[in-house]
Amino acid sequence: MKKRILLLAGGQSGEHEVSLMSARSVLNALPRDQFDVTPVVISKQGRWLPPTETQRALDSGEAPTGGDLVLHRAASAEGYDAVFPLLHGPMGEDGTVQGLLTLAGIPFVGSGVLGSAVSMDKIMTKQVLASAGIPQVAWALAVRREWQAQPDTVRERAAALGYPLFVKPANLGSSVGISKVSSAEELDGALDLAFSLDRRVILEAMTAHKPREVEVGILGNDAPIASPVGELRFDADFYDYETKYTEGRASMHIPAPLPTEVADQIRSLALRAFRALDCAGLARVDFFYVEETGELLLNEVNTMPGFTTTSMYPKLFEAAGLNYSALVTRLVELALEER
């Protein structure tokens, strides 16, 4: 008997359109003889669209503003064997939807409430990884109320890290609100921007040399495996929103041209991070590799990475011999495992 799968896409984050592209790819890839897939698109306003409007959104790549404000029957996942929440960023990848599905008692692809929530929050991620002894760049926390009441304290914290540095909202994806700050004169504007988007902000030191950005995919639940290592190359100062989503601004290299011992260390650290954060199903773990010093520094863990056929995560496992259709099928199988 076919398994009935509810595929959620869209959502309220800046990666709404990427999610729709990923959903089209997954819809086409899940074997029709094994799965009966029902897509539901969530609009940018958080409304769950009925079938006709869902199909229109998938075809056009843009969701209308209509839909039900109150979650319709699909939200209960009644009658489905599993849910594939192909949602990125806040209100999708941060434990909120995972909590809804957990309450409904329905299996779903990816990390649970804890792993999703902790991995989405940059500060919580860093604190957990630090406790696990996983190397990261130096960083500091600032909160909005402190910035309003004691701005000099925050400025001193930034100065202690040294310039240049990055200012990042704690809980947003897609590189939204991230600023590279080259001097103290640029700090206030960067903090004002970040605090307009989040009440908690992370100050992050830069490495002494420009690092290489390398990524590895993780697949599995209690016995996860790591993919070959890939590398992102780009000319911009950092992997910002424009570089990420403008064709031709960045290129992927799989496998990354790295010494074997470095690639092995990246894979080992990625698996440690996956377990430390209580992730499940899948994740893409991103690192900085400072070639001049040999440093490996974990940057972030993405529990629902981009999933088009040309996205880094599927390409990493394709290099390991697992094609796109087999990969999405395996993810559904992992969702149905007892954990």
CATH code of the domain containing 272:
3.30.470.20
Name 55's Cβ contacts closer than 8 Å, sequence gap at least 6: 39
pLDDT tens readout for residues 98-132: 999 999 899 999 999 999 999 999 999 999 999 99
User: Can 15 be counted among the known catalytic residues?
Assistant: yes
Catalytic residue among 174, 186, 295, 325: 174
Ligand-binding site membership of 149 (annotated): no
Ligand-binding site membership of 208 (annotated): yes
Query: Are 288 and 159 within one domain?
Result: no
pLDDT of res. 224 = 98
- Total number of domains in the chain: 3
Q: What element of type H or E holds 253?
A: strand 250-253
CB distance 296 to 135 below 8 Å: yes
Query: Are 254 and 129 within one domain?
Result: yes
Ligand-binding site membership of 302 (annotated): yes
Any domain includes 293 = yes
pLDDT category, 241, cuts 50, 70, 90? low
Any domain includes 13 = yes
pLDDT category, 174, cuts 50, 70, 90? low
User: Can 179 be counted among the known catalytic residues?
Assistant: no
CATH number at residue 167: 3.30.1490.20
Cβ atoms < 10 Å from Cβ of 70: 7
Catalytic residue among 13, 15, 119, 215: 15
Query: Are 28 and 150 within one domain?
Result: no
Query: Are 40 and 178 within one domain?
Result: no
Q: In what order do the strands lie in the sheet with 35-42?
A: 35-42, 3-10, 82-85
Cα torsion at 314, 315, 319, 320 (round to 10°)? Answer: -20
Within 13 Å of residue 285, how many CA atoms lie on the same side as its CB? 35
Ramachandran category for residue 316: left, alpha or beta (phi over 0 → left; psi -120 to 50 → alpha):
alpha
Any domain includes 114 = no
Any domain includes 113 = no
pLDDT of res. 31 = 96
Could you tell me which residues are beta bridge partners of residue 302? 284
Name 33's Cβ contacts closer than 8 Å, sequence gap at least 6: 2
**With the C-alpha atoms ordered 232, 234, 237, 240, is the resulting torsion angle positive or negative?**
negative
pLDDT of res. 52 = 80
pLDDT category, 226, cuts 50, 70, 90? very high
Quote the domain boundaries for residue 186.
139-205
pLDDT of res. 125 = 96
Mean pLDDT, the chain, as a whole number? 90
Kindly tell me if the per-residue pLDDT of 89 is higher than 80.
yes
Query: Are 214 and 309 within one domain?
Result: yes
238 vs 214, higher pLDDT = 214
Query: Are 99 and 226 within one domain?
Result: no
- What are 323's two structure tokens? 């094609």
Query: Are 53 and 144 within one domain?
Result: no
188 vs 233, higher pLDDT = 188
Q: What is the pTM of this model?
A: 0.90
Query: Are 51 and 162 within one domain?
Result: no
Query: Are 80 and 189 within one domain?
Result: no
63 vs 196, higher pLDDT = 196
User: Can 231 be counted among the known catalytic residues?
Assistant: no
pLDDT tens readout for residues 31-63: 999 999 999 999 988 888 888 888 888 887 776
Ligand-binding site membership of 207 (annotated): yes
Catalytic residue among 93, 119, 311, 318: 311
Ligand-binding site membership of 122 (annotated): yes
pLDDT of res. 70 = 42
> Per residue in 143-160, is it b (16+ CB within 10 Å) or e — as a string?
beebbeeeeeebbeebee
Ligand-binding site membership of 167 (annotated): yes
Query: Are 238 and 314 within one domain?
Result: yes
pLDDT of res. 247 = 58
pLDDT of res. 73 = 53
Query: Are 168 and 151 within one domain?
Result: yes
**With the C-alpha atoms ordered 125, 131, 132, 138, is the resulting torsion angle positive or negative?**
positive
